A and B are shown apart, each in its own frame.
Chain A
Amino acid sequence: GAVVSQHPSWVICKSGTSVKIECRSLDFQATTMFWYRQFPKQSLMLMATSNEGSKATYEQGVEKDKFLINHASLTLSTLTVTSAHPEDSSFYICSASSGLGEAFFGQGTRLTVV
């Protein structure tokens, strides 16, 4: 299957700082990318949908000013967690779709805010 890479795999940051997570589709052009968040022992929760060159669409209850999403090219989307707090500690996962079939997921980024 297609390869989607996330970076970093894990990050620890201080409360109040911002963290950027990258999601890259390595061998196909991703017209649409999705960002999910997963807390321990819970399922994945869709946060937002980003389309290349346009503003992201956020799910209800997700703060767009806190979780900034940029999809500047067909192979890269970034999620920036601004002014991170301990409650933002979670497993963040992206997926990418070419629009022709199934979505492929990155390996996830473990964020710990201290």
Chain B
Amino acid sequence: DAKTTQPTSMDCAEGRAANLPCNHSTISGNEYVYWYRQIHSQGPQYIIHGLKNNETNEMASLIITEDRKSSTLILPHATLRDTAVYYCIVRVGAGNQGGKLIFGQGTELSVKP
């Protein structure tokens, strides 16, 4: 699976949009971009995933560049409860060890009042 690069930490003001970048320049054509987050002392929580089109759900939006070498997770109105470590993971989709995720260091997002 391709390697990802994320900033170590970011701050965001409560109520503002949080934009978390991820570089995955070695991504292959059949690899998806997944985002998970981990709130302190809890198991990771699935947020969103995509292949090449932008995706949106009730939690966030995922913007993938046309060349697929980078992506941005957008939390439209960050709250204090969004403070967590956010992981961007690239992997082949379901069917090939479906669910196996290799975690990098992630981005520690701090949402401040």
Contact = CB atoms under 8 A, between A and B. Distances in A.
A34 to B, nearest CB: 6
Given A99-B94, A99-B95, A93 B43 contact: yes
Contact of B42 (A31, A34, A96, A108): A108
24 contacts: A31-B98, A32-B98, A32-B99, A32-B100, A34-B99, A43-B87, A43-B104, A43-B105, A44-B44, A49-B100, A95-B99, A97-B94, A99-B95, A100-B94, A102-B34, A102-B94, A102-B99, A103-B46, A105-B46, A107-B43, A108-B41, A108-B42, A108-B43, A110-B41
Interface string B7-50: 00000000000000000000000000010101001111110010
Interface of A: 1, 4, 6, 31-32, 34, 36, 43-46, 49, 91, 93, 95-108, 110
A49 B96 CA distance: 12
Given A43-B103, A43-B106, A44-B103, A105 B45 contact: yes
A100 B94 CA distance: 5
Given A102-B34, A102-B46, A97 B99 contact: yes
Contacts of A97: 94, 98-100
Contact of A96 (B41, B44, B99): B99
A11 to B, nearest CB: 15
Contacts of A93: 43-44
A36 B87 CA distance: 15
**Looking at B87, B101, B106, which has the most chain A CB atoms within 10 Å of its CB?**
B101
Contact of B46 (A1, A32, A45): A1
Contacts of A100: 94, 98
A101 B34 CA distance: 11
